[in-house]
Structure 1
C-alpha cells in the first residue's frame, strides 16, 4: 500500500482496468518492484509511460506528460546502479535497465520513456508521526483525467513512438524555441 499521493500511479492503473487496450499495449502496476520494471523495459517496447506522483511545483492535481529525453549512455567512470529488490526510484530503475541492456552480447536499447505525472498535495517522507493513507482530494480527482490522458497518449505513441509531444496532435514541424515538451491538465 502506498502512502498519501504516492498511490497515484496504482490508482490510475486501477482506473484503466476494464478498458480496451490496443494490441501490443500492456499496463502493469509494478508497485515497488523496480527490478521487475528494469527487466520489463528490455522486452522490446518502442515506448513506456511511467505513471507516478511527480512534484514539479505546480498546483496539486495538475497532470502533465514529462518527456525527459533519451537517457545518456553510462560512461566507464559512472557509478553503477545497484539493484533494488523493493525500491522504485525511477532514475535508478532506468539506470539499472540501461546497464542490464548494455551488459549483454547483443545490447538492448531502452524504449522511449515518458512520465505521466500528477502534482501531489501530500507526500510522506517517512519520519511523520502519523501515516496518511489514501489520495488527497485534488489528486483523487485527477485520476480519471489521467486515465483519459494515458489512453490518448497511448494512441499517439502507437502512431509514432518518437513523436514530439510539444506539438498538438496532427501538426508537424518543430516546437517554438524554448518550449518545454509537456501537456498539462489543471483541476
Structure 2
C-alpha cells in the first residue's frame, strides 16, 4: 500500500525534466484520499488472494545519461514469471533502504540485473541516488501521514513501516 499510495514516477524521461511521484499512479483523477484507495485495494487483494508486484521497467546501470532502460525481453520474462506463479516459489533477498524483497533469479533473466546495485559501475553514485530517491519518497509521503485508517490506526502504522529506512 505504501508504494501504491506513493505512486510511480512520471517525468524525468527527457534531459532536464523533473521526476515526481503521483499518488495512486494518477493523483489528478482521484476523488477520495489516496489512503482510502490503498485500503480498498488491500481489502480486495486479501478477499481474492491476489498478489502485487513492483516491476522496474525503467533505468538500470546508472542515472539518465549513463544507464539504460531494462531490456524489454527481460521485462517480458519477469512478467511471464509473475503470470506463471513461479515467482511465488523463488528465493528472495531484501534490499537496503527500501526493504523490498527481490528475487535472486528468474529464468532467462540475468541475475545481476535483478538487484539494481549490481548494474551500476559506480557503487557510490548508486548509494547517493538510492538515498536521494528514498528522500523523495519520504517527503512525498508526508502529506499522507495525518490521515489515519484502520482500527486503532493499525493500517496507517503498517503502511508507514513499509517506507524507506535510512
Which has a greater percent of helix? 2
TM-score, structure 2 normalization: 0.32
- The structure whose RCO (Cα within 8 Å, separation 6+) is larger is 1
